[in-house]
Structures are given as structure tokens and as C-alpha cells.
Structure 1
Amino acid sequence: MVAAHPLGPPAHEQHWVDLAARLAGEFARTAAERDRTGELPVGNLRRLNASGLDAAVLPAEYGGQDLSYRSYGAIVRVLSAACPSTACVWVMHIGAVAGLVEMSEPDVARFFAERLGDGARFANALSEPAGGNLFLQSQQPAEAVEGGFRLSGEKRFSSGCEIADHFLVNAKVDGVSTFFGLDADPATMTFLPSWDAMGLRASGSQLIRFDGTLLPHERRCPPSKRRRPNHIGAGVAALSLGVADGALAALREHARARKVLPGGGTVAEQQWVRFGVGELESRLQAAAMFAQYMCWLADENSPDFLSATVRAKLLANEIAREIADLGVRVGGGSGYLKTSPIERWFRDAQAGWLMAYSAEICKDVIGAQVLGDDA
């Protein structure tokens, strides 16, 4: 018997990863159609919730399974390899609810955990049009009023916001970026149909306009007193790794089936294709190994986790784009058509690079760490 990988999912949690893989097989069958229509994968998300995967991520004290970050990363990767839009919405949903449960007072945390168990949807409302990568440091002030604070302004790239029942939102209170749990309020919140993206088209990452929305005192998250690994930070690398897996699978299928010339060998027998695949698959393995290490650091609640997320994201973003680019070149003219999965994977591969923190910011952060402030 081969021992489990020391950085992989713990053996007692492998059944969760296997469950995600079975669901992913179903999600893959509709991924192309969802990309074509841009329709949110509501059915997929409901299946994930009904399977118990949503609740499994939460702490045991709130009815969860204390699912490890190592298993969580593996689950995100397998979902993304099947339907990146489903995986993206799920990561943001889990990040929002896990964040609210972790940051809220116990009674409020219990409320959100119970709502998750009831099938409620969660989304983030953090990124601001003028905020760039500073999505955790809100620049939008909230006005103090009776019962809480009023927020007016816009938040963008809120994946799955149209079906969300609750939001993790931040605003500047007394000069400090402060988090709140917010119930959807149709009277003061408007979802603008701004999402007509190149990739992740079915993630519904729309813009939200707030018009005097009340952020209640009782839903205010107190300042953090301890370090907490962030599920979105841990998940974005796995999103790109899954896209890389999907792009490589599409490339392989095309290369093995397509003849170079009638009666000749297949594209897969071309030396330049083998060289390219050999190099990039090896780098994919390396990027995946570092992402597993990052998840292990999260399980250890290590102070090195944040630094590792930046590197894991950069490595995963880069390899996804490079494999998808090779896929287009291997696919030739047929791979350039919208009917080809190669073309779809190429578009989806660009998204991770742009997600905060963008790859350029990641490089800058790493460079500053290596060179030091006095360089």
C-alpha cells in the first residue's frame, strides 16, 4: 500500500475529495454550455451544498467537519478542472461564509453557519472600483446612524452576488476598514449587469451598488485577535491549477487524435509538442506541490501562510496561462474556433492572473521580500 502524500489530503478526508470528483464529472458535461450562455451554475452549487461539502469546511463547533486546507485545495482544483466558473463561485461563497463564521461573535457566527446548512448563498462585497488590489482595505466611508452605519457606493467582482442571501462586506468606519455580515437588501442594493467577461463567464461576478444600505451594529465583526488562514487566499491558486489540468487534458485529447497529414503520425508525435508538454507538465507538478505546501501551512496556522499564498498564486497563474497557450498552438486553426474546448480553456486561464492580488502585485511583493526595504 502506498502511503498518502504528506502534503495531500489527510486519509480520513479523502472521501470528501472523491465526492467532489464525482460531482465534477457531472459539472464538466455542462461547462461549455454555461460558458456560452454565461448562466450561473445554480444547480451545481446546490449539489455541492446538498452533498455536505459546504458545511464540511466550517469549524466543528458550528456543525462543520474542520475540513483541512489540504483537502479544500484538492477539492477546488478538481472542481476547477471540470467547470472553472462553478469552482470560482464556490471559492468565493466558502470564503465569505467561513470568514463570517470565523470573524463574528459566537451567536452571529452560529446564525450564519445554520443559514449555510439551510442552503443559503454567500458572496463577498469587498472589491471597490477605485481600490485595485486593495480589496481588504476599504476606502468607502460608512456613515454612523441609529442601529449601525449606512453605506453608499459600489463593490465589484462579486461572484454569485445575484443569488446571494448574505454578504461579507467592508467599509471604512472611524478611519478603519471594518467587516460586516450583511443580509441581501433589495431595497438598497442593485446588481448591475456588468459581467460580460472573456473567461469565467458563468461566475456572474457583477457590480453591486449600495444606496444607504444599513450595516447593523450586531453584524459588525470585531477586530481580529488571532491569525486566521483565508479560504479565498488558499483557493485561488487551486483555481488556476484546475484550469491548467483542464487545458492540458484538452491539449492531450486533440494532439492524440489529430493527424499531421493524411496517413501520417499524430500531432502528439511531433517533437516540439512533446518538448513543450514535457516542460510545462513538470512545472505544473512543481506549482501544485508548492500549493500543497501552502495549504499545509494553513493547516498549521503558520505565519508563513500569507507569503506562501502570493507565491502559490503566481506559480499557478503562470503555468495555467502557458499550458493554455501551448494548447492553442497545438490546436492550430481548429483550436482557435469557439467550438473548441482549447479556446475556452485559453480564455479561462487569463482570469487567475488578473484576480487580486494580480500576478504583477505578487511579483512586486515577492521582490520586495527578497530585496528588503533598504535595497
Structure 2
Amino acid sequence: MTTTTLEKAPLEKTPPAEALKGVPGLTRPSQPAHIIKDDAEAIAVAEALARDVIGTASQRDQNRDLPVAELNAFSQSGLWSINVPKAFGGPEVSYATLTRVVQILSAADPSLAQISQNHLGVVAAIRTVSDEAQQCLLFGEVLKGVRFGNAFSEFGSKRAVDFETRFTDAGDHVIVTGRKFYSTGALLAHRVPIVALDDQGRAWYAIADRDAPGLTVINDWSGFGQRTTASGTVILDQVKVPKTHLVPGYKGYETPTADGAIFQIIQVSVDIGIAEAAIKDTIEFVRTRTRPWVDSGLDRASDDPYTIQAIGGLTLRLHAAEALQEKAGLAVDAAVAAPSAESVAKAQIAVAEAKVLSTEIAIEATNKLFELAGTRSTLAEHNFDRHWRNARVHTLHDPVRWKYAILGNYALNGVNPPLHAWS
């Protein structure tokens, strides 16, 4: 799919969230997804898609309209298979490019960008832990346009890594029972990877069909930010999953691999995209609508030296976050190519640095918007509060105070970060 093709293909009207309640699943795409050929095309396609979705993103946020048509265009564009290895027919772009793609989409609609996060992470995990036959099968599905959602986290567990969902062996398949929450993308997925424990307490990805009997996705996400990710509840009542789709995810954390860093770096990209959008809206509003302060003696708010300084600081920190994101992406590439305790730790540390700065600039930029743009910017017609709401909710994924601790312990005591999906 070329950039021109994306621009000429208008999106269908997005049905409201209510219209999807009770729907057992979504049909598979009628045509195979496009396959991106290289890093440059991935960026170009992302930019074209962003232009298509940005105009209605605020309305979707206000109405909680799920991005159904937008998501179909996103996954069919080929951007959901960009980390499939070349050996299996994928483009295998650099993770520096992948994160740039997610940032571009996040600046247009961060909910849409976040929906892809777990899919891309699971694709990376399949590369790490699956045997060749399973890789061939699952990568083949992804290249055709199949979307993975997720059913990872659980609402009532003591810690995020404590899972009660389990599966039992039933011959050529397993049977999964449990309940999940924060299941981003599951409602709109074709397949739902479920984190479930075996009888030894090891965590697997049981990749269930979205329409499998006993699998229910409830559209009950009520968070005040990232409102259209449909990150609600998944109920698993004796769900059958063929062993061909049972992925030994635990192997990605038994020895050093880049899996955790990959899950984390995509979070970075979502936050940088939110910050980018907020700064852009701040600049445009100050230039065109904000009145200069009464004591300034100026005709234009954009000539206010304090505002100029503040915009300079925000822009600087945004660019610094982008630079750390690119550096982290290259470190992830190195860890994927040659995983070792050293290369993986370097990737984790680079991602942690980017995570700290991306969180801080997202919160700062979305808050500073109102201070610099003034009271007019708080009017509901602008819906600028969506930037702050999205940043505040998404950056809660994992606490930055622990990232600082990881960075300090590595620098001071040579202690490598722990191996899990939050590190």
C-alpha cells in the first residue's frame, strides 16, 4: 500500500462504542494486509495514516467512539507486521523506526497507537520463544492482517505479575479459565493472547480466537484518559486454545532477552506522541488565540518572553526524549540480534532513560498547555484536556520513580535491571 493509496481511501464512519457491545468478534479482513518493504515506507505510511485519523480523534475521545475503521486501516496498512523477521517474509524494521511509527500515530490518536502495543510486543515474543513451526504459523497470520489484542493483567491480584488465570492440558489443546482487565485491543482483535499459568506456575501466551466459545470481552473501560482503547474486562470460561497457538512466553524472561525492553519502548513512543501533540496545539493556540498579558505591553502573546522561554524548554525536552527513544531503539536492535546479559541490560537502561523523560515531558507539556494558552484553551470545544488525561493515564503503566532507581543502581552498583515486561 503506497502513501497515495492511503490518502485516497476514505475511512468508514466509526460506529459508536454502544454498537459493539455484545458483538462476538470482528470478521477477518477480506484482503491480505499490505507488507511494508523497508523503514522509509513504514514512516511514510504512518504519516499518511496519521493525516487520515487526526481530524476525528478529539470527537472519538469525547464520545468514546471506538476507532474501528481507523484500526482496520492501521492494521491493513502493514504497520502491524513491521517487526516480523525477514526470514518469515516480514520487513523487520529497526526498533528505532518502529518507535517512530508509534509516535507518529500517537500524536494523531494515542488510543489508536496504544492498541497496537501488545500486538507488536507479542510478535517480538514469538520471535524469541517459539519454535520455527510456530513462528511460521503465527507470523503468517500476522502478515495476512490478523490482529492480536491482549488479556494480560488482572484487576484483583496483589502485584501485576501475580496471575490467577490458568490452563489445563486437554490433548491437542488447552482449556483456559480466568478473568482479565486492562485488556487493550481485545474487543477489536482477531485473536486474544491470554497470559495463563501452567501447572508449574509458568506464564504462557494462550492465543485464543476472538470468537472462541467462553471468551467474552466487555467494553467497560471507564478511565478518564485513553478512552477509546476499549481496555476493559475479558472473561475466560473454559476457553479452548489449540497448542499450535500456545506460546511459552515465560522463556523470554528465564534468560536475558529484549522482550521486556520492547514492551516498554512502545510505551515511550505513545507518551512522546502525546507530548508532541500537546506542544503543537499550544504553539498554534498561542499564535492565533491567546491574548498577551496586560502588563506585557505587547500586541501578540507569541512575543511574550516568558512564553517564548517556556516553549523553548518544552521543545528542547521533547527533542531530548526523541533522541533517547532513538538511542534506545538501536540498543534494542543490538539486544535482539545478539542477546546477552550485557546487551539486554544496555537496552533496558536505554529504554528506562527514555521512559523517564517521555513520562515527564508528556505530563509537563499537557499541563503547560493551559498555562501558556490561557483560560480560553479550557473551553470544551477545544477538548485540550484530552492530552493531559491521556498522558496522566498512560504514564501510570509503570512508575518513573522505579526507573530512576533502576538507573541509579545500574550506574552506582552495576546491578542489571530485573527481567520482566515492566523493565
TM-score of the alignment, normalized to the shorter chain, above 0.5: yes
2:394 equivalent among 352, 355, 359: 352
Q: How far did 1:369 drift?
A: 3.6
Q: The residue matched to 1:46 in structure 2 has which SS?
A: helix
Return the letter of the residue paired with 1:161: A
Unaligned runs of 5+ in 1: 1-11
1:292 aligns to 2:326 (yes or no): yes
2:265 equivalent among 221, 234, 246: 234
Q: The residue matched to 2:221 in structure 1 has which SS?
A: coil
Q: Which residue of 2 aligns with 1:317?
A: 359
1:89 aligns to 2:121 (yes or no): no
Q: Which residue of 2 aligns with 1:252?
A: 283
Contact 1:39 1:204 in 2 (8 A): no
1:170 equivalent among 187, 195, 198: 195
Deviations 1:233-279 (A, max 9, x none): 22111111111110000000111112227995222222221222222
1:363 equivalent among 404, 413, 416: 404
Q: The residue matched to 1:100 in structure 2 has which SS?
A: helix
TM-score, L = length of structure 2: 0.78
**Shift in CA distance, 90/175, structure 1 to aligned 2, threshold 3 Å:** closer
Contact 2:187 2:218 in 1 (8 A): no
**Shift in CA distance, 143/16, structure 1 to aligned 2, threshold 3 Å:** closer
More moved, 88-97 vs 76-85: 88-97
Q: Which residue of 2 aligns with 1:161?
A: 186
Alignment map for 1:1-375 (pairs within 5 Å): 13-131=39-157, 134-135=160-161, 138-173=163-198, 174-222=200-248, 223-224=251-252, 227-229=257-259, 231-258=262-289, 259-260=291-292, 264-301=298-335, 302-303=343-344, 304-355=346-397, 357-370=398-411, 372=413
Q: The residue matched to 1:23 in structure 2 has which SS?
A: helix
Q: The residue matched to 2:111 in structure 1 has which SS?
A: helix
In structure 1, distance between residues paired with 2:189 and 2:387: 27
Identity among equivalent positions (%) equals 24
In structure 2, distance between residues paired with 1:139 and 1:368: 32
**Shift in CA distance, 308/283, structure 1 to aligned 2, threshold 3 Å:** same
Aligned alpha-carbon RMSD (Å)? 2.6
**Shift in CA distance, 54/217, structure 1 to aligned 2, threshold 3 Å:** closer
TM-score, L = length of structure 1: 0.87
Q: How far did 1:184 drift?
A: 2.3
**Shift in CA distance, 364/213, structure 1 to aligned 2, threshold 3 Å:** farther
**Shift in CA distance, 28/17, structure 1 to aligned 2, threshold 3 Å:** same
**Shift in CA distance, 159/253, structure 1 to aligned 2, threshold 3 Å:** same
- Number of aligned residues: 362
**Shift in CA distance, 92/346, structure 1 to aligned 2, threshold 3 Å:** same
